[in-house]
Chains A and B, each alone.
Chain A
Amino acid sequence: MIVNELAVGAQGQSPAGGRPIGEVILDLQNISLSFGGVKALTDISFNVRKGEIRSIIGPNGAGKSSMLNVINGVYHPQQGSVIFHGEKRRDMDPHKAAAQGIARTFQNIALFKGMSVLDNIMTGRILKMKTNLLQHALFWGAAQREEIEHRKKVEEVIDFLEIQSIRKTPVGRLPYGLQKRVELGRALAAEPSMLLLDEPMAGMNVEEKQDMSRFILDVNDQFGTTIVLIEHDMGVVMDISDRVVVLDYGKKIGDGTPEEVMANPDVIAAYLGTSH
Chain B
Amino acid sequence: MFYREAGQFKASYQADQQIFPIRQDKIAVWALVLFFAAVVPVIADQYWLKAILIPVLIFSLAALGLNILTGYAGQLSLGSAAFMAVGAFGAYNFMLRIDGMPFLVAIVLGGLCAAAVGVLFGLPSLRIKGFYLAVATLAAQFFIVWALVKFPWFSNYSSSGVISTQEINILGFAFDGPTSKYMLTLAVVVILALAAKNMVRSSTGRAWMAVRDMDVAAEVIGIRPMRTKLIAFAVSSFYCGVAGALYAYTYLGTVEPEGFNLDLSFKILFMIIIGGTGSIMGSFLGAAFIVLLPILLDNFVPSLLGDLVSASFVSNFQLIVFGAMIIFFLIVEPHGLARLWQIGKEKLRLWPFPH
B201 touches A110 (CB 8 A): no
Min Cβ gap B222→A in Å is 4
Q: Within 8 Å CB of B222, what residues of A?
A: 95, 98-99, 126-127, 190
Whether a CB of chain B sits under 8 angstroms from the CB of A266 is no
Identify which of A11-19, A140-148, A241-249 touches chain B. A140-148
Whether a CB of chain B sits under 8 angstroms from the CB of A93 is yes
Whether a CB of chain B sits under 8 angstroms from the CB of A114 is yes
**Could you give, for residues 86-105 of chain B, a 1 whenever the CB lies within 8 Å of some chain A CB and a 0 otherwise?**
00000000000000000000
Whether a CB of chain B sits under 8 angstroms from the CB of A252 is no
Identify which of B119-127, B166-174, B208-216, B266-274 touches chain A. B208-216
Identify which of B13-21, B178-186, B318-326 touches chain A. B13-21
A137 touches B219 (CB 8 A): no
A138 touches B218 (CB 8 A): no
Whether a CB of chain A sits under 8 angstroms from the CB of B202 is yes
Whether a CB of chain B sits under 8 angstroms from the CB of A103 is yes
Quick one: closest A residue to B200, CB to CB?
A136
**Could you give, for residues 95-133 of chain A, a 1 whenever the CB lies within 8 Å of some chain B CB and a 0 otherwise?**
101110001101000111111000100111111010101
Quick one: closest B residue to A112, CB to CB?
B213
Whether a CB of chain A sits under 8 angstroms from the CB of B159 is no
**CB-contact partner of B206 in A95, A97, A126, under 8 A:** A126
B214 touches A112 (CB 8 A): yes
A139 touches B209 (CB 8 A): no
**CB-contact partner of B207 in A97, A104, A123, under 8 A:** A123
Q: Within 8 Å CB of B24, what residues of A?
A: none
Min Cβ gap A84→B in Å is 15
Given A138-B195, A139-B198, is A190 in contact with B204 using a C-beta cutoff of 8 Å? no
Q: Within 8 Å CB of A49, what residues of B?
A: none
Q: What separation, in Å, do the CA atoms of A187 and B221 have in the docked complex?
A: 7
**Could you give, for residues 63-78 of chain A, a 1 whenever the CB lies within 8 Å of some chain B CB and a 0 otherwise?**
0000000001010000
A114 touches B278 (CB 8 A): yes
Interface magnitude class on chain B? 20 to 34
A136 touches B199 (CB 8 A): yes
Q: What separation, in Å, do the CA atoms of A95 and B19 have in the docked complex?
A: 30
B203 touches A129 (CB 8 A): yes
Q: What separation, in Å, do the CA atoms of A122 and B14 have in the docked complex?
A: 15
A115 touches B213 (CB 8 A): yes
Q: Within 8 Å CB of B195, what residues of A?
A: 137-138
Whether a CB of chain B sits under 8 angstroms from the CB of A181 is no
Whether a CB of chain A sits under 8 angstroms from the CB of B231 is yes
Q: What separation, in Å, do the CA atoms of A46 and B90 have in the docked complex?
A: 59
A98 touches B17 (CB 8 A): no
Interface magnitude class on chain A? 35 or more
Min Cβ gap A93→B in Å is 7
Whether a CB of chain B sits under 8 angstroms from the CB of A151 is yes
Q: What separation, in Å, do the CA atoms of A131 and B19 have in the docked complex?
A: 18
B207-248 at interface with A (beta carbon < 8 Å): 207, 209-210, 212-214, 216-224, 231, 235
Q: What separation, in Å, do the CA atoms of A119 and B218 have in the docked complex?
A: 13
B210 touches A112 (CB 8 A): yes
Q: Within 8 Å CB of A144, what residues of B?
A: 14, 17
A95 touches B223 (CB 8 A): yes
Whether a CB of chain B sits under 8 angstroms from the CB of A89 is no
B217 touches A106 (CB 8 A): yes
B207 touches A110 (CB 8 A): no
Whether a CB of chain B sits under 8 angstroms from the CB of A152 is yes
Q: What separation, in Å, do the CA atoms of A99 and B220 have in the docked complex?
A: 9
Q: Within 8 Å CB of B206, what residues of A?
A: 115, 119, 122-123, 126
Q: What separation, in Å, do the CA atoms of A104 and B17 have in the docked complex?
A: 28
A142-192 at interface with B (beta carbon < 8 Å): 143-144, 147-148, 151-152, 155, 186-187, 190
Q: What separation, in Å, do the CA atoms of A63 and B213 have in the docked complex?
A: 26
Whether a CB of chain B sits under 8 angstroms from the CB of A22 is no
B209 touches A114 (CB 8 A): yes
Min Cβ gap B125→A in Å is 17
Residues of A within 8 A of B (CB): 72, 74, 93-95, 97-99, 103-104, 106, 110-115, 119, 122-127, 129, 131, 133, 136-139, 143-144, 147-148, 151-152, 155, 186-187, 190
Given A94-B216, A131-B203, A136-B199: 17 more A-B contacts, CB < 8 Å: A94-B220, A95-B219, A98-B220, A103-B220, A110-B220, A111-B214, A112-B210, A112-B212, A115-B206, A115-B209, A124-B221, A126-B222, A133-B199, A139-B198, A144-B17, A155-B13, A186-B221
